[in-house]
Amino acid sequence: MNAFQDAEAAFSANYHEARAAFLEAASAAGAQRQHHACPARGPGGEALHTDTAWLGDPGAPKVLVVLSGTHGVEGFCGSGFQVHWLRAGLHRQLPADTAVLLVHALNPYGFAWLRRVNEDNVDLNRNYLDWRQPPPDNPGYRDIADAVLPARLDGPVAAEAEAVLARYRQQVGELAFYRALASGQFIDPQGMFYGGSGPTWSNRTLHAVMAELLGRATDVTCIDMHTGLGPYGHGDLISDHEPGTDAAQRVRRFWGDGVSESRRGQTLPLVQDGPTHFGVTRALPHARVTFGTLEFGTYERDLGRAALRADHWLHRHGDPLGPEAAPIKQALRRQFYPDTLDWKEAVLFRAHQLVRMAIAGMQGASAQRGQPVRD
Ligand SMILES: [Zn+2]
């Protein structure tokens, strides 16, 4: 017997199954649904959408927002949880003043094509800058750009690139290496972890959803679901709130001592203002915003880098629909979606726990220690 009933059934095999499961579960739960058509197409030329489901009073002052698929291929995880939450009927237990907004497949192109980036090769979690300012510099990426993404994945070219990266890593240390590689860059539109040159379609879509549905909310908690960082199956709730602020204290009160704070150096800080955290907090100045990035660990980080590099190589130098695509896509999918029962159970347990804590926290309860208090 599974720890969670129907755990397997909530997770889908591809974007289209995930979308159908989400829309059906949302409809069965009586959600208000909206559909946003993406300008990009799937591998078979098919249409792609970001969909939303609103559960609860349309005028509720308190809203919990759960985002899936910011990083395309990571959407298997967030979608599975969203579907499971809907099917479990947990919306029926919401306090009267609280609504839940589920945003499904924020980057549907990446989900459908099994990519982390979007249709513009942009890492959406580096794209939420205030674009009136010039984007930040990442001098480290400049030093290693050619080695990060060599023209070939094997042979002497690839070996030399790996040697360059190994020397750089040795020279600057682990933290500076990953900061250079992965914190975001704005100089190479075809490179890895590219933050873009303006707000992407997914960024603009999230802003449109917030403007339309969260304009009246005064208390918004947002969980943005990701995978690929940390130990296998472990769900790390990461806060980008400044230590010492009310928001940082709220994160602790809602979610307890298991939180990692990027501003305390407990996890790698990304480019200033790039992550979803900053897009959401900046867009809702009228509301009290509590934001957590939920990262589920999968396999080791260097495997992830290799899988991402191969995928970038495929879309830059190869044929994403050709015969060399299958093993590359398979490795990437596995890296960001292990597709095993134990991993799915761990995801469901932790995500349900954090959602339950967030809803209780907005009711004023200290969710960690005591029993959640309801009105
Ligand atoms: Zn991610």
DSSP readout, 79-105? HHHHHHHHHTTGGGG--TTEEEEEEE-
For residue 207, give the nearest of 113, 284, 309, 310 by alpha carbon: 284
AA letter at 310: A
State how far the alpha carbon of 131 is from the alpha carbons of 32, 73, 134, 269, 274, in Å: 32, 26, 7, 19, 10
Query: How many Å lie between the centroid of ligand 1 and the Cα of residue 240?
Result: 15
Q: Which residues of 321-344 are buried (b: 16+ CB within 10 A; e: fewer)?
A: eeeebeebbebbbebbbbeeeebb
Query: How many Å lie between the centroid of ligand 1 and the Cα of residue 249?
Result: 24
For residue 145, being part of any structural domain is answered with no
Write down the mean pLDDT value for the chain: 93
Query: How many Å lie between the centroid of ligand 1 and the Cα of residue 373?
Result: 32
State the total domains in the chain: 1
Query: How many Å lie between the centroid of ligand 1 and the Cα of residue 124?
Result: 9
For residue 169, being part of any structural domain is answered with no
pLDDT value at 367 more than 60: no
Query: How many Å lie between the centroid of ligand 1 and the Cα of residue 204?
Result: 18
Let me know: does 297 contact 232? Beta carbons within 8 Å. Answer: yes
Q: Find the radius of gyration of the CA atoms of the chain.
A: 20
Neighbours of 369 (CB within 10 A): 8
Query: How many Å lie between the centroid of ligand 1 and the Cα of residue 230?
Result: 12
Would you state the pLDDT for residue 267? 66
Residue with the larger pLDDT of the pair 267 and 259: 259
For residue 261, being part of any structural domain is answered with yes
Query: How many Å lie between the centroid of ligand 1 and the Cα of residue 91?
Result: 26
pLDDT value at 187 more than 70: yes
Query: How many Å lie between the centroid of ligand 1 and the Cα of residue 301?
Result: 13
CATH number of the domain encompassing residue 244: 3.40.630.10
Query: How many Å lie between the centroid of ligand 1 and the Cα of residue 156?
Result: 31
Would you state the pLDDT for residue 261? 86
Residue with the larger pLDDT of the pair 303 and 291: 291
For residue 112, being part of any structural domain is answered with yes
pLDDT value at 271 more than 80: no
pLDDT value at 373 more than 50: no
For residue 293, being part of any structural domain is answered with yes
Q: How far apart are CA 168 and CA 143, in angstroms?
A: 9
Query: How many Å lie between the centroid of ligand 1 and the Cα of residue 236?
Result: 12
Query: How many Å lie between the centroid of ligand 1 and the Cα of residue 226?
Result: 4
Element (H, E) at 232: strand 219-232
Would you state the pLDDT for residue 158? 92
Would you state the pLDDT for residue 273? 78
What is the secondary structure of 196-228 as a DSSP string? -SS--HHHHHHHHHHHHHSTT-SEEEEEEEEEE
Query: How many Å lie between the centroid of ligand 1 and the Cα of residue 261?
Result: 16
Residue range 239-262: mean pLDDT, rounded: 92
For residue 371, being part of any structural domain is answered with no
Which structural domain range is residue 33 located in? 7-123+200-303+331-362
Confidence bin at 3 (pLDDT 50/70/90): low
For residue 160, being part of any structural domain is answered with no
- One-letter-per-residue 3-state SS of 288-337: EEEEEEEEEECCCHHHHHHHHHHHHHHHHHCCCCCCCHHHHHHHHHHHHC
189 three-class SS: coil
Query: How many Å lie between the centroid of ligand 1 and the Cα of residue 109?
Result: 14
Query: How many Å lie between the centroid of ligand 1 and the Cα of residue 50?
Result: 17
pLDDT tens for each residue of 202-232: 999 999 999 999 999 999 999 999 999 999 9
pLDDT value at 299 more than 60: yes
pLDDT value at 283 more than 90: yes
234 three-class SS: coil
Q: Which of 16-25, 110-119, 263-272 has the lowest mean pLDDT?
A: 263-272
Query: How many Å lie between the centroid of ligand 1 and the Cα of residue 227?
Result: 5
* Percentage of the chain exceeding pLDDT 70: 95
Element (H, E) at 250: helix 246-255
Confidence bin at 32 (pLDDT 50/70/90): very high
> Exposed (0-12), middle (13-18) or buried (19+): which is 154, by Cβ within 10 Å?
exposed
pLDDT value at 336 more than 70: yes
Would you state the pLDDT for residue 374? 44
Let me know: does 145 contact 151? Beta carbons within 8 Å. Answer: no
Query: How many Å lie between the centroid of ligand 1 and the Cα of residue 70?
Result: 7
Query: How many Å lie between the centroid of ligand 1 and the Cα of residue 173?
Result: 23
Residue range 4-17: mean pLDDT, rounded: 92
Helix residue ranges, H only, 4-61 = 7-10, 15-28
Instruction: Collect residues with CB below 5 Å from ion ligand 1.
Output: 71, 74, 226
Q: Which of 77-81, 146-150, 192-196, 276-280 has the lowest mean pLDDT?
A: 146-150
List of long-range contacts for 369-374, beta carbons under 8 Å, 24+ apart: 369/256, 374/95
For residue 174, being part of any structural domain is answered with no
Residue range 349-356: mean pLDDT, rounded: 96
